[in-house]
Structure 1
């Protein structure tokens, strides 16, 4: 069983559904609204735990009802919340997900306590990091904390996975130097490398540029098409499973969490792990809400047998 630690965000998601996005100055009625647990970090941790990994979370919530709700979402899925700090300086992070009838989403985020995660918070979690197969992080918490976490993981001989989202044009060299696997989508790949992803050749070019920045292993996710992987000079493309999407909000996070649950620390089974992660994502997009849609290992394996 892989041991996974996730450093990242916890957000309460407010999901607003409507037929189409309004034009400037236009008012439209909602077709529905709901609340669910979210945040890229929490989603990835829950996905890893439900897929069978022993999972620990590093993050921060407020001393409010939303914070208690988010911690409960972690523990309900078997995620260790020992290193989730509580702050009375800011409120728990929140996100507003705008979802139209074609399942296209746009997301607005208030970082709240996610932006207060510090290197010192990460250092408190060193026992978990040192014992983990993988440490996963994204960009919804301060990069300084992520750099410290990756340094601790590297010092302990453990592997790191970076999801460079939300996209940013400036990633510190010291973070990339301690990243073993980077998992951007096509937009994030273009932001980081300048390569516009249109076909497999551009995926190869983008992945090679990421390798030139210091990351040996690369996965580029391309939504409903699938995912491209590169390990050293080896590479391949794994098509996505064709399903009717209802809500794609947690698709990428489910992919990363499920991937980490089965990936070997030497990345030797990268292609097979991508296939498993694709299957998990295909299940997640068929349900509404980020965390409610994340499948269990049993559901993933049942879908594989079907």
Structure 2
């Protein structure tokens, strides 16, 4: 069983089902509205926990009902929330999600307490980081918090996993990249960081080489319904995706990350099998509505992975 710590966001998601995305100035009717626990970090932690990993979380909520809701959701999946702090002046993060008929989404995120996470909060969590096999971070919390967490991890031989999502608006701090053992962007995030558009396998290999030049030795690029490309010191390859009818893609990438770190070995020797497992998990997620409600259990993934 892998021991996974996730540093990241906690958001209450409100989803709106619509026929198609509105044009500027247009008003559209909502056919269905729902609320669910979400946030990229929380989704990834839930995915890891549901796939059998011993999971802990580092994050921040507000002193409000939404914060209590998010804490309860973590505890429901047996995620250690010891290091989820409470902010007395800023509310819990929220996200408004528009879903069209094809299952594609547009998301508006209010960072709230997620953006108030500090180095001090991370330092307090050092015991749980030291006891982990992997630590995962994204960009819905401050970059400096991820740097601090990865510094602790590297001192204690913990594998660092960076999911650079949402796509960074400015250059990533080079120190963070040098502290990253494996980076897992999607194709758009990858292009945003490296300047290389993913068009074919050659562009993927060039991208991996570029990340290596930045200090990141291992790469997985998720490419939607085409699958995932990986590159490590032992080789590279493209693992095709499993074809399903997507209903809601909101937590697909987060499910992939959480499922991946629940299965992959610290030396990445089983990376192909871990990616296939993560793709099975993600293929189940996109066939359901909602973020965390759509994330499958280990038993469900094993059924489709036979």
- Structure 1 length-normalised TM: 0.98
In 2, distance between residues paired with 1:272 and 1:208?
Answer: 23
- Structure 2 match to 1:205: 206
- Structure 2 match to 1:50: 50
Matches within 5 A, 1:1-306: 1-168=1-168, 169-232=170-233, 234-305=235-306
In 2, distance between residues paired with 1:204 and 1:65?
Answer: 47
Give the stretch that moved more between structures: 202-211 or 188-197: 202-211
C-alpha distance after superposition, 1:260-299 (max 9, x if no partner)? 0011001111111111100100000000000000011111
C-alpha distance after superposition, 1:187-227 (max 9, x if no partner)? 01101101011122211111111111101110000111110
In 2, distance between residues paired with 1:129 and 1:48?
Answer: 16
4+ residue runs over 4 A deviation: none
C-alpha distance after superposition, 1:94-121 (max 9, x if no partner)? 0010111111101010000000101110
SS in 2 for 1:299: helix
In 1, distance between residues paired with 2:276 and 2:220?
Answer: 12
In 2, distance between residues paired with 1:27 and 1:44?
Answer: 33
SS in 1 for 2:305: helix
In 1, distance between residues paired with 2:248 and 2:294?
Answer: 9
Contact 1:207 / 1:220 at 8 angstroms: preserved in 2?
Answer: no
SS in 2 for 1:4: strand
Contact 1:185 / 1:221 at 8 angstroms: preserved in 2?
Answer: yes
Give the drift of 1:233. 5.6
In 1, distance between residues paired with 2:184 and 2:4?
Answer: 16
Give the drift of 1:29. 0.9
In 2, distance between residues paired with 1:22 and 1:2?
Answer: 43
In 1, distance between residues paired with 2:136 and 2:293?
Answer: 21
C-alpha distance after superposition, 1:218-266 (max 9, x if no partner)? 0000111110000026100111111111000000000000000011001
SS in 2 for 1:235: strand
Structure 1 unaligned spans of 5+: none
In 2, distance between residues paired with 1:47 and 1:104?
Answer: 20
In 2, distance between residues paired with 1:202 and 1:274?
Answer: 20
- Structure 2 length-normalised TM: 0.98
Give the stretch that moved more between structures: 19-28 or 51-60: 19-28
C-alpha distance after superposition, 1:29-60 (max 9, x if no partner)? 11111001110000000000000100000000
In 2, distance between residues paired with 1:81 and 1:101?
Answer: 36
